[in-house]
Structure 1
């Protein structure tokens, strides 16, 4: 299972996702452009030494990313659907895609996704933190596919 971040804007969120994926054994795909300059010091501050234990694949844009994942199913996590992420059947090779913090993904990216799911939350709030959402999604996906480490 992989976590893909579409044009992430906050280095701290990327670092937290890198740490999550290091712990859970998932690859991280970073779809550029990012909203911050990629520099080891900035990302390392959040990811700490965990960055040495995660596979990171950077892609120049969404088309390059799409080409790299082949036939793997792309599952978009979005607030623009009613389908619960907990009523969804994950596959061990799914790619879980998250949009940029300020606005999600554009329509062309959403249209390219095989599935769209939402993490249920109270209607009074807009969305969760990117890293928190990724943790909930990856945990559920790995739980369902019996792919949890250790």
Structure 2
């Protein structure tokens, strides 16, 4: 099972959307505090729709609490400062993919200590970053693709109607 980690997220709507994506993919969500909202925030629930109660979510007081409760975890860190793109790594089935807060990303001191596992999404020009929930979806689905979407429904079904009647 893949793990999505949000380091100090600020916007409840983004976190709600990410929670919904996690439910749809079977990923766990880890929230590292302090959060910029309360977990019962109506914007969070609104963005997550009726999926929030199905979400496997864990909260942590801070980054050190996260490390203490997940010893030895392989953590990839999404940042615009990375040398490698998100497609250049092989995601382990139980790895963690961390994303920083909307206004500042993952703190530089954390990135420096984990430079080998930093990844980036390519962009053109001087664009600062993509929306957090979009970034999570891009990287998460690459990790799932690498595992052949092993536990997911990969085939849809059309309901054929007789349109000539």
Report TM bin, short chain. over 0.9
1:65 matched to which residue of 2? 66
1:25 matched to which residue of 2? 26
Aligned residues: 150
- What TM-score comes out, normalization by structure 2 length? 0.85
Alignment of 1:75-86 (within 5 A): 75-86=76-87
Structure 2 CA distance for aligned equivalents of residues 134 and 108 of structure 1: 22
Alignment of 1:1-150 (within 5 A): 1-113=2-114, 115-146=117-148, 147-150=150-153
- What TM-score comes out, normalization by structure 1 length? 0.93
Find the residue that maps to 1:108 and give its secondary structure: helix
Greater relative contact order, per chain length (Cα 8 Å cut-off, separation 6+): 1
| Shift, 1:90, TM fit | 1.1
Structure 2 CA distance for aligned equivalents of residues 142 and 148 of structure 1: 9
Structure 2 CA distance for aligned equivalents of residues 41 and 88 of structure 1: 36
Contact 2:12 2:41 in 1 (8 A): no
Q: Flag structure 2 segments of 5+ consecutive residues without an equivalent.
A: 154-165
Q: Flag structure 1 segments of 5+ consecutive residues without an equivalent.
A: none
Deviations along 1:89-110, one digit per CA (max 9) or x if unpaired, are 1111110000010001212322
| Shift, 1:142, TM fit | 1.1
Q: Stretches of 4+ moved more than 6 A in 1?
A: none
| Shift, 1:76, TM fit | 0.1
Structure 2 CA distance for aligned equivalents of residues 68 and 149 of structure 1: 28
Deviations along 1:53-79, one digit per CA (max 9) or x if unpaired, are 210100011011111222220100000
Contact 2:73 2:95 in 1 (8 A): yes
Could you say if the C-alpha distance between residues 102 and 20 of structure 1 is closer, same or farther in structure 2, counting changes exceeding 3 Å?
Answer: same
Q: Which has the larger radius of gyration?
A: 2
| Shift, 1:38, TM fit | 2.5
